[in-house]
Amino acid sequence: MDVPAPPQLPADIASEIDGKPDVATSSTRLSIYRTRLSVYRTQVSNLRSHLANERTHLSYLRTTVSLVGFGITLNRFSLYLVQQKELSEQHTRHFLRDAGNAGLGMVVLGLLLLMWSIYRYWAVSRDIERGQYVSHQKGTIGASVGLLLLGGLTAVWLFVR
């Protein structure tokens, strides 16, 4: 989105105002200039909103990469430890298999977060273009509570046996 340079006060308007012309002509010309300036500021504001939306989407992408990467690492490392002959207790092996499943769950959670992020990016971008952004607090709170419950259930599943 190209944003034009802010409109300059035309020299003829500036000279008329400096020369104290009649009020009606000066007022009309100044209102036209202010309207152009208002349009410019709106375009700059929309540009800032789009850039903020993109930064938010990129932070979701970083979180997704972290979740997927850590989930794969956790899954692979737990499988590696299970395969080692040094582990003798059955309880420890069972715990490590569960940790591998938790790693798989993190990968799935990361991919779900990516899909939600793409949807939110498009929806917010569309709202910015329409000029009628509506906050989606229910979705944000629902996702947060869902993650809280999922994390708590995973902790109970892994550590309380």
pLDDT of 134 > 70? The answer is yes
For residue 106, tell me if it sits in a domain.
yes
For residue 18, tell me if it sits in a domain.
no
Q: What is the dihedral of CA 85, 89, 94, 98, to 10 degrees?
A: -80
The count of C-alpha atoms lying within 13 angstroms of the C-alpha of 21, restricted to the half-sphere facing its C-beta, is 14
pLDDT of 20 > 70? The answer is no
Predicted local distance difference test score (pLDDT) of residue 147: 81
For residue 15, tell me if it sits in a domain.
no
Name the maximum alpha-carbon separation found in the chain.
Answer: 98
CB count in 10 Å sphere of residue 90? 8
Predicted local distance difference test score (pLDDT) of residue 16: 60
For residue 126, tell me if it sits in a domain.
yes
Predicted local distance difference test score (pLDDT) of residue 12: 65
Higher-pLDDT residue of 132 and 18 is 132
- The number of domains in the chain is 1
pLDDT tens figures, 77-131: 877 777 765 555 555 555 555 677 788 888 998 999 899 999 999 999 998 888 8
Higher-pLDDT residue of 10 and 19 is 10
For residue 3, tell me if it sits in a domain.
no
Q: How far from each other are the two terminal CA atoms of the chain, in whole angstroms?
A: 56
Predicted local distance difference test score (pLDDT) of residue 61: 92
pLDDT tens figures, 24-40: 556 676 777 778 778 77
Average pLDDT, the chain: 78
For residue 36, tell me if it sits in a domain.
no
* Structural domain range at position 146: 52-159
Concatenating the DSSP letter of every residue in 70-92 gives HHHHHHHHHHHHHHSTT---HHH
Higher-pLDDT residue of 56 and 83 is 56
For residue 9, tell me if it sits in a domain.
no
pLDDT of 23 > 70? The answer is no
For residue 37, tell me if it sits in a domain.
no
Mean pLDDT of 58-83: 86
